[in-house]
Amino acid sequence: MVGFKGQNHPQQTDKRGALDEVDGRGTHPDTFNPLAERFGGFDLDVAAAPCNAKCARFYTRADDGLAQDWNGRVWCNPPYRNLVNWVAKAWHEFNIGRAELIVMLLPANRVEQGWWQEGVEPYRDRPGSPLKVEFLRGRLLFIRPGQTEIGPNERPPFGCCLLIWQKENAS
């Protein structure tokens, strides 16, 4: 894969911290809009900046979405640097009944890591569990801050998945 290098993998961020321009990549409308339609719209984007917010209500890094209440139907494409905290927060907000739906877009190439092995794998797609995982086809496009056009070879070199917390998932 030419032109797109992994840049916020833990082996890199441990040494020099995460890069804002990588953390700030927005979900492309071609990805987001069908999901918003499928799930009946989202009320709140919990990890955003004004340039990439997907809902009228959103939390930025300054707000710290991890320290706020997640109400209603929640969209979350979190920064990749501390996924364990975002998954734990989603469980908390869903379990206490504040969030009625959470859809989280995540990289699908880190499933060997602790946040997945402890926060996702034991619960996903199990009878009675509210958490469902969908592995997405192809490589998604993301939009960098300030970018309107996406150039060739700008798809990330990994697949993505959706984590969906929803009462109807339980069976």
Ligand X SMILES: C[S@@+](CC[C@H](N)C(=O)[O-])C[C@H]1O[C@@H](n2cnc3c(N)ncnc32)[C@H](O)[C@@H]1O
Binding site for ligand X (CB under 6 A): 23-27, 45, 47-49, 52-54, 59-61, 63-66, 77, 79
Task: Choose among 137, 14, 135: nearest CA to 81.
Answer: 14
Rounded Cα gap, residues 146 and 21, in angstroms: 10
**What letter does residue 121 receive in the DSSP assignment?**
T
CA-closest candidate to residue 116, choices 98, 102, 101, 104: 104
Minimum CB separation of residue 163 from ligand X in Å reads 14
Beta pairing, strands 72-76 & 44-48: parallel
Identity of the residue, 22 or 131, whose beta carbon is nearer to ligand X in the bound complex: 22
Q: Considering beta carbons, is residue 31 or 129 the nearer one to ligand X? A: 31
Q: Which residue lies nearer to ligand X by CB, 129 or 162? A: 162
Q: Which is nearer to ligand X, 61 or 126 (CB)?
A: 61
Q: Which helix (H) or strand (E) holds 115?
A: helix 114-119
What single DSSP character describes residue 25? P
Q: How far apart, in whole angstroms, are the C-alpha atoms of residue 69 and residue 74?
A: 11
Cβ 51 to ligand X shortest distance, Å: 8
CB of 67 to ligand X, least distance (A): 8
Residue 120 or 160: the one with the smaller Cβ distance to ligand X is 160
Shortest distance, position 14 Cβ to ligand X, whole Å: 17
Under a CB-based contact definition with an 8 Å cutoff, are residues 52 and 24 in contact? yes
Q: How far is the CB of 116 from ligand X (least distance, A)?
A: 17
